[in-house]
Structure 1
Amino acid sequence: MTFPDITPSLKSAMPDLRGRLLANESLAPLTWFRVGGPAQVLFTPADEDDLAYFLSKLPSDIPVTVVGVGSNLIVRDGGLNGVVIRLSPRGFGATSADGDIVSAGTAALDKRVAETAAAADVGGLEFYFGIPGSIGGALRMNAGANGDETKDVLIEATGIGRDGTKHVYDNAGMAFVYRNSGVDPSIIFTSARFRGTITDSAAIRARMEEVQAHRETAQPIREKTGGSTFKNPPGHSAWKLVDAAGCRGLRVGGAQVSEMHCNFLINTGDATATDIETLGETVRARVLAQSGIDLHWEIKRIGVAP
């Protein structure tokens, strides 16, 4: 699908814009699944002020979607109309530590935040070492692993609203729940501050090695995948429900349920976004029929069908 090119009119209305606007840019290379259609406009802001300026000038009837590193994302094959915003590591990827506080831009990888904390002997953020995403996604989804979650360490987060205004949210203001935040979805998070505990360096490194070893032995991290597909229902493990429903190794087109971990879908090489989403819905239907439990997607699905 090709969308009408609206970049000339946007540039005309935003003469001081410093970021990059691209028309009909493929989003597949920006996702771990390596599938999906184009963005009508892909915008990469230079920094937080540039993002605020862009949003303040953008007509309110143009949809805005934010993508991070695409580690838990399916972009449908028809792509996305409106503007897709992707924060770059150069403008939003800085990390630092001061005492027991770690600061990060939201384009920083979760793993890098864990490494920054470890280098400063700050414990409590080791779980980020095993999450294949960025801090922006961690804030939006209350990302967690190995028994710890973002809500356990966050001090505050900063974001830009749809009208270009800046907002700051403390931990309570984030309204965290399991794998989600209650903050207005139109807010684009730009930075965050976390508090850990000064800890023995060797203990921190040992914990990070445990996290990495678990991922390598239990998850298909070298495949084209989107991470955990379904949320764990209360009192249950999603992968066990999928396995019990006979879905291990199930295929639709080029998409397959991982043989290693049943809560992971993989692109075996030539899958479309439709293949992957259809496979996920097939798994949900089989689990519901077998157990009576309705699985909910943890992977975000955006865009339109072709």
Structure 2
Amino acid sequence: MSYPDLLIDLPDLKEGTRGRLTPNQPLSSVTWFRTGGPAQLMFQPADEDDLAAFLMKLPKDIPVLPVGLGSNLLIRDGGLAGVVVRLSAKGFGGTEILDGNRLRAGAAVPDKRLAETAAGAGLGGFAFYTGIPGALGGALRMNAGAHGTETRERMVELTAIDRDGNKHVLSNADMGYAYRHSSASRDLIFTSAVFEGIPQDETGIRAEMAAVVEHREKAQPIREKTGGSTFKNPEGTSAWKEVDAAGCRGLTIGGAQMSEMHCNFMINTGSATAHDLELLGETVRARVLKNSGIRLEWEIKRLGNFGAEGPVEPFLGQDQEAA
């Protein structure tokens, strides 16, 4: 499918814009699942000022969505109306070592590169990022974490641009962080952040990073088309244990499968549609609910319009009151 070309309807969007504007950009090329429909318009701003100026011009009734590396994102087959903002490495991928055991990094910096930069500066506390396959914008938004450490423990403050093109600086406390969640306004696009580490010998840091990599390679299907952990861990248990107990390890729908290696990872075996993947996830949620009474919550973000196969109902539309 395709959407009306916003650049034809709104020619002023191009005037003075230095970044790249691409109508009907296929989003399957920028998500790890390699599925999904197009963005009506993708904007890759040259820098923070370019982003702010563009948002000032964009009519307020047109939705805007920032997308990073697409590692924990499922774009539905009908794609996304409005503007998808994808921050470029050139404009938002820099890092800088600061005084006071701190460093600044752009929101497009991959999580694992932040860990590398911190290690080179002798700053501990960032090794967990080595195993998170995303960029800092998403990590800041969802309080990404692994191996007992979360983003909220390292982030000091961040810079963001709002829907009107205004710049904001938010403190850690402003973010309202909780498990895999922040309460920051969805209208904010994060552009950079300051982090604080702990002085540590580089050799020790790299040993921690190597251990994270080894664990990930042994326990997770990292060479598959996947989106990372599919469901958040419920209180008092692990999502994978509940998925396994419900008999969903290896469960397959179309080209989508719950991994045999780690059954909280959903994979595209090669031919999956976004509908296959979401239907598989909701089937698993329904079976876990029936088996244990636990209502699993998605960790993967599902966005956009459903395609020709129609919508996928939460828990397959069954037993939602009991949930």
Q: TM-score range by the shorter chain?
A: over 0.9
Q: Distance in 1 between matches of 2:268 and 2:305?
A: 19
Q: Distance in 1 between matches of 2:11 and 2:106?
A: 26
Residue 13 of structure 1, CA deviation: 4.5
| Alignment pair present for 1:273 and 2:274 | yes
| Alignment pair present for 1:141 and 2:142 | yes
Q: State the partner residue of 1:252.
A: 253
| Alignment pair present for 1:204 and 2:205 | yes
Q: State the partner residue of 1:292.
A: 293
Residue 122 of structure 1, CA deviation: 0.5
Residue 249 of structure 1, CA deviation: 0.2
Q: State the partner residue of 1:236.
A: 237
TM-score, normalised relative to structure 1: 0.99
Q: State the partner residue of 2:105.
A: 104
Q: Distance in 2 between matches of 1:123 and 1:111?
A: 13
Q: Which amino acid aligns with 1:161?
A: D
Q: 1:72-221 counterparts in 2 under 5 A?
A: 72-99=72-99, 100-221=101-222
The secondary structure found in structure 2 opposite 1:297 is: coil
Q: State the partner residue of 2:313.
A: none
The secondary structure found in structure 1 opposite 2:160 is: strand
Residue 97 of structure 1, CA deviation: 1.7
Q: Which amino acid aligns with 2:40?
A: Q
Q: State the partner residue of 1:64.
A: 64
Q: State the partner residue of 2:314.
A: none
Q: Is the 8 A contact 2:250 2:259 kept in 1?
A: yes
Q: 1:35-54 counterparts in 2 under 5 A?
A: 35-54=35-54
Q: Which amino acid aligns with 1:244?
A: A
May I ask how many residue pairs the two structures share in their alignment? 306
Spell out, residue by residue over 1:145-190, the C-alpha distance to the aligned partner (whole angstroms, 9 max, x if none): 0000000011101100000000111110111011011100110000
The secondary structure found in structure 1 opposite 2:190 is: strand
Structure 2 regions of 5+ residues with no counterpart?
308-323
Q: Distance in 2 between matches of 1:40 and 1:34?
A: 18
Aligned Cα root-mean-square deviation (Å): 0.8
Q: State the partner residue of 2:224.
A: 223
Residue 8 of structure 1, CA deviation: 3.0
How many percent identity over aligned positions? 63
Q: Is the 8 A contact 1:11 1:17 kept in 2?
A: no
Q: Distance in 2 between matches of 1:198 and 1:160?
A: 32
Q: Which amino acid aligns with 2:256?
A: A
Residue 139 of structure 1, CA deviation: 0.4
Residue 14 of structure 1, CA deviation: 4.9
